[in-house]
Amino acid sequence: MVLGSDTRAEFGSLWSLYEWVMIVTTAIVFGTVLFAAWRYRSRRGHAPSAKSEANVAELVYTLILVVVVAVLVTRTFTTENRVDAIASNVKQHVEVTAFKWGWRFTYPGSGVSVVGDDQRRPTLHLPVDEPIVFVEHSRDVVHSFWVPALRFKRDAWPDDETEFELTVDRAGVYAGRCGEFCGLHHADMNFTVVAESRERFERWLRAQ
C-alpha cells in the first residue's frame, strides 16, 4: 500500500540539504577566490609560479564532486519517489480543469463543482491531514496548478490528463495561481485554497 506524502515537508527536508551544500560551497569558493586575489596580488619580489598542473589534486577534487553528485541525486530520487507516488488509500478526489483564465474544481460523486475566473477568483476547499488525488487537464492552452505554500505545481495539458496527490498538513487559507504563462490575463488566473478539518469540509460540501 502506498501512503500519502506531505509535499511541503518533503520539500523542506530536501531543501535544507541543498541549502546547506550551497552555503558551504559558496563560502569555500568566495573564500578561495578572495584569498587568492589578495595573497597572490602582484607586488615587488613576488614571481608567478611556473607550475601548470596538479593532476593528483584535481583527481581527488573530481572524486569529491562525484560524491556530492551521488549524495544529492540519491536524496532527490528518494524524495521524488515519495512526492510522485499516488496513495492507494484515498477518500478524496478533485478534478481540476484549467482554462483561459480561470479554474473549475469538481468533487466527483458529490455533484459539487466550483468555477471562477480572472474577475471572480474561485475557492478550492480541501480537507486537511489526508491524501487528496487531483486529476488535472486544460480546456485550451498549457496552464499550471501551483500552490506555493504546498511547494508544488503541475502543468495542465489540453491533450491529456495528469494525476498527482497532495496532503495539506494544516488548516488555513493559501494562495493558488497559474504557474505557466497562458496569455493576456495569466497574472490574474488565481484561486484560493481553504484547507479545513474533514467535518467542516463535509459541511461545506453538503451546503453546496
Interaction residues for another protein, span 78-97 (CB under 8 A)? 79-80, 83-84
Tell me which residue of 66, 82, 71 sits closest to 12, measured CA to CA: 82
* Interface region with another protein, contact rule CB under 8 A, candidates 88-96, 121-129, 142-150, 191-199: 142-150
Indicate whether 135 belongs to the interface with another protein (CB under 8 A). Answer: no
CB of 114 to another protein, least distance (A): 21
**CA–CA separation, 199 and 207 (whole Å):** 12
Indicate whether 177 belongs to the interface with another protein (CB under 8 A). Answer: yes
- How many residues belong to the site for another protein (CB under 8 A)? 79
Do β-strands 131-138 and 112-117 pair in parallel, antiparallel, or remain unpaired? unpaired
Indicate whether 164 belongs to the interface with another protein (CB under 8 A). Answer: yes
CB of 166 to another protein, least distance (A): 11
Site string for another protein, 1-40 (x = CB under 8 A): ------x--xx--xx--x--xx--xx--xx-xx--xx-xx
Site string for another protein, 95-134 (x = CB under 8 A): -----x----------------------------------
Give, in degrees to the nearest 5, the angle at Cα 153 between 100 and 158. 40
Question: 16-45 burial, b if ≥16 CB within 10 A, otherwise e?
Answer: eeeeeeeeeeeeeeeeeeeeeeeeeeeeee
CA distances from 89 to 75, 93, 160, 164, 205 (A): 25, 11, 24, 14, 21
Indicate whether 204 belongs to the interface with another protein (CB under 8 A). Answer: no
Indicate whether 65 belongs to the interface with another protein (CB under 8 A). Answer: yes
Indicate whether 56 belongs to the interface with another protein (CB under 8 A). Answer: no
CB of 132 to another protein, least distance (A): 16
**CA–CA separation, 200 and 208 (whole Å):** 13
Dihedral sign computed on CA atoms, order 181, 183, 188, 193: negative
